[in-house]
Amino acid sequence: MEYTSIIGYVAAFCTTASFIPQVLHILKTGQVDGISLQMYTIFTFGVACWLTYGFIIRDMPMLIANLITLILACSVLGLTLWKRMR
Amino acid sequence: MEYTSIIGYVAAFCTTASFIPQVLHILKTGQVDGISLQMYTIFTFGVACWLTYGFIIRDMPMLIANLITLILACSVLGLTLWKRMR
């Protein structure tokens, strides 16, 4: 594999997987005070647009990466809303 | 402009700009308890990889979007570290 592709895959892996520790952090600590709801609302919408874009241009890596990110971002958004409403 | 490109630009704008309210939220409230340092460490590294990737393939929109995201993600990371150490 070309080194440029490796950098791309590492980039995609990191920006997608990074949301896992955020979800776990909320589940473990129950703390959501520092999290911006506005950020996750805009971000989730943006990732949904990337997913749509990936679907239209039929780019499988883009589709998979953004589907996983969408699930994780929705989890952060949902958990934050749920904790704030209690 | 083709509608596919518009979706791509909206996606790039949202996933980049979404970090602005997060930075402002920390600056306003001083709250960083809910923020996962692990997430921002991995995410910042991932965005730095995207920036390198954009540089290698000479993709200007990718370069600009990731440069702005990198600055914002570094701000969240730096502010969180600073608030936790005090």
Q: Rounded to a whole number, what is the distance in Å from the CA of A62 to chain B's nearest CA?
A: 12
CA atoms within 13 A on the CB side of B2: 6
CB nearest B43 (choices: A15, A42, A47): A15
Mean pLDDT over each residue of chain A, to the nearest integer: 95
B71-82 pLDDT, tens digit each = 999 999 999 999
Domains of chain A: 3-85 (1.20.1280.290)
pLDDT score, position A81: 96
CB atoms A50 and B15 under 8 Å: yes
CB atoms A34 and B36 under 8 Å: no
Residue in B closest to A6 by C-alpha: B53
Distance between CA atoms of residues A57 and A7, nearest Å:
22
* B68 phi and psi angles, rounded to 5 deg: -65, -45
User: In the structure, what pLDDT confidence band is assigned to residue A1 with cuts at 50, 70 and 90?
Assistant: confident
B47-67 pLDDT, tens digit each = 999 999 999 999 998 999 999
A48-65 pLDDT, tens digit each = 999 999 999 999 989 999
Q: Rounded to a whole number, what is the distance in Å from the CA of B15 to chain A's nearest CA?
A: 5
CA distances from A40 to A1, A8, A19, A58, A81 (A): 34, 24, 11, 26, 10
Rg (CA), chain B: 15
Q: Rounded to a whole number, what is the distance in Å from the CA of B6 to chain A's nearest CA?
A: 9
pLDDT score, position A14: 97
Say what the ipTM of the complex is. 0.92
